[in-house]
Amino acid sequence: MIASSNMVIVATLLLLMSAASHVASFSHVSSAGKRNCWLHSQATDLEMTNNGRSTTESPSFVIALTREEGKNGKLNKALQSNSNIKQIISSSSGSAMEVNEIPCIAHADGPDSDILGKTLSSSDFDYVAITSPEAAKVFATAWIDEGRPKVGSVAAVGKATQEALKAYGIDVAFVPSKATAATLVKELPTLEEATNEGRSTSLLYPASAKAQDTLQNGLEERGFIVTRLNTYDTVTATWTPEEESLAKSTTVACFASPSAVKAWVKNTAQLDCPRALAACIGETSFAACKKNGWKEEDIFYPEKPGIDGWAESVANALQCFAEDKC
C-alpha cells in the first residue's frame, strides 16, 4: 500500500516537471521574434519559392522592392546572387528569403513635358544632364519623336542612366565618379569652346518635378546657364490589399529615391506593423529616411551608389536583423 502511494507521488511529480518544462520552452521570445510576430500571423504557411524550391514555411527575411513596376529586376537578380545574403540565410536555421515587388511610385507627365521636344529642336545647349533612367526614357522619347535633332554633350548620373541612354542610341560624354547630382556639380567641366567665345556654358536639365535643386543651383553657382524643364512627375502608387499585406510582413524595404521613401511612409501609415529596416541605393535616400523618422542605425546604404552596393546594403540589414541588433 505504501509502495503504491509512493509510485503515485512520483508519477505526479514527473507530470508536474513535464508541464513546467513545456511552459518554459515557450516563455522565451527574442526581440527578433517579437519584431516578426506579425509576419507569422500574416504569412502562416505561405508558399514561396527560394532558389527554385517550393516550401510552405513562413520566410524569416522578407524584402520589399519599391521601384516602379517592372524596374526591380536588376536588384532582385543581385539579391539572389549575393554571397553574403546566401550565407546569412544558410546560417539561420529554418530561415528563407522572400522578395516582393511593392511599387511605391508611378510616373506621370510633368508640366513641361509638352515643350521638351520643341526645346530640343529649336535651342542649342552645350550639355544635357540626365539624372535617372526615367529621365533618360522621357528625354529619349521626345528626342526620337522630334526627329533626333543634334543635342549637346550628354552627361549621365550613374551607370543605370548611362545604359538607359545607350539603349536609345544616345552617346554619353560624361559620367561623374559618384552617381549623385552633387558630384556631377563638382566634376562637370565647363566647355572650353564656350569659354573661348566669352560666354557661359549652357545646360538643359530635363528633370522630375519633385527633383531637388541641387544640380541646378550648384551649376549656376559655378557660372553655368541652366534651363530646367520639369518633364515628368513622381506620384505615390496606390497599393492593393495584397500589397498592403506584403508591406506588413516586410523585414527590409529597398529605396532608390526620396519619393519612394515618402510613398512608403504614406502607404504604411495606417497599417498596424513595425517600421521595416531601410536599404537605400545611396546617401540621398538615406537622408530621406532619416528625415522621415528612421533611426540611423536602421538605415543601410553603400558609399558609392549602384546595384551591387545596394544589394550589399540589404545583406548588412539582414545581418543586423539576424543577429538581433536591429
CATH of 31-104+239-322, one of 3.40.50.1820, 3.40.50.10090, 3.40.50.2000, 3.40.390.10: 3.40.50.10090
In the chain, domain spans: 31-104+239-322, 108-235
Show Cβ contacts of residue 190 under 8 Å, excluding neighbours closer than 6 positions.
201, 222, 223, 224
| 3-state SS, one letter per residue, for the chain | CHHHHHHHHHHHHHHHHHHHHHHHHCCCCCHHHHHCHHHHHHCCCCCEEECCEEECCCCCEEEEECCCCCCCHHHHHHHHHCHHHHHHHHHCCCCCEEEEECCCEEEEECCCHHHHHHHHHHCCCCEEEECCHHHHHHHHHHHHHCCCCCCCEEEECCHHHHHHHHHCCCCCCECCCCCCHHHHHHHCCCCHHHHHCCCCCEEEEEEECCCCCHHHHHHHHCCCEEEEEEEEEEEECCCCHHHHHHHHCCCEEEECCHHHHHHHHHHHCCCCCCCCEEEECCHHHHHHHHHCCCCHHHEECCCCCCHHHHHHHHHHHHHHHHCCCC
**Do 31-104+239-322 and 108-235 share a fold?**
yes
Rounded-to-10 torsion of CA 263, 59, 79, 276 = 30
For residues 307 and 78, the answer to whether their CB atoms sit within 8 Å is yes
Which pLDDT score is estimated for 122?
Answer: 92
Which pLDDT score is estimated for 140?
Answer: 97
Q: What is the largest CA-CA distance in the chain?
A: 118
CATH entry 3.40.50.10090 includes domain 108-235: yes
- Say how many C-beta atoms besides its own lie within 10 A of residue 71's C-beta: 16
Torsion sign (Cα): 280, 283, 284, 287: positive
Q: In order along the chain (326 residues), what is the average pLDDT of each group of 10 residues?
A: 41 40 28 35 32 45 93 94 94 87 93 95 95 94 95 93 95 94 96 92 96 95 97 93 94 95 94 91 94 96 92 96 87
Alpha carbons within 13 A on the beta-carbon side of 106? 6
